[in-house]
Amino acid sequence: MIRLTLVFAALYGGLAVCLGAFGAHALSSHLSERMQAVWHTAEQYQFYHALALLALALLMRTGLTGAAFTTAAWCFIAGTLIFSGSLYLLAGSGVKILGAITPIGGVLLIAGWIALLTGAWRMTP
């Protein structure tokens, strides 16, 4: 799970930089201000959770393994894909129904932070 978490951290981080540049340069003249803000929100959350996955992989590498940390990783991976992915699609296509699935990703991201908190709470000093 450590390797997979690190792979997604790198993938999401790299894509966040690429999609941020694409949004700022190639799409800026094609998107309304509102849709530019939606795109920016997607890239921010993707980057934040890429960093969270990186930190989680490093924690797991030190031997802090367990169901809570694995759950946190899966929630961050799926939550980022659904949350940021749906916002990118919404901003790029303008199809508003895509925004309806965004909260599912948000709930998964919150669940990931709760799982991380649970794992940290259960750690023995």
Q: Which residue has the tokens 């750690």?
A: 123
31 vs 108: CA distance, rounded Å: 28
Domain boundaries, the chain: 2-121
Q: Each residue of 19-38: pLDDT tens digit?
A: 998 888 877 778 888 889 99
Q: Each residue of 80-110: pLDDT tens digit?
A: 999 999 999 999 888 888 889 999 999 999 9
78 vs 106: CA distance, rounded Å: 10
8 vs 63: CA distance, rounded Å: 19
Q: Report the candidate in 85, 80, 107 with the shortest Cα–Cα distance to residue 39.
A: 85
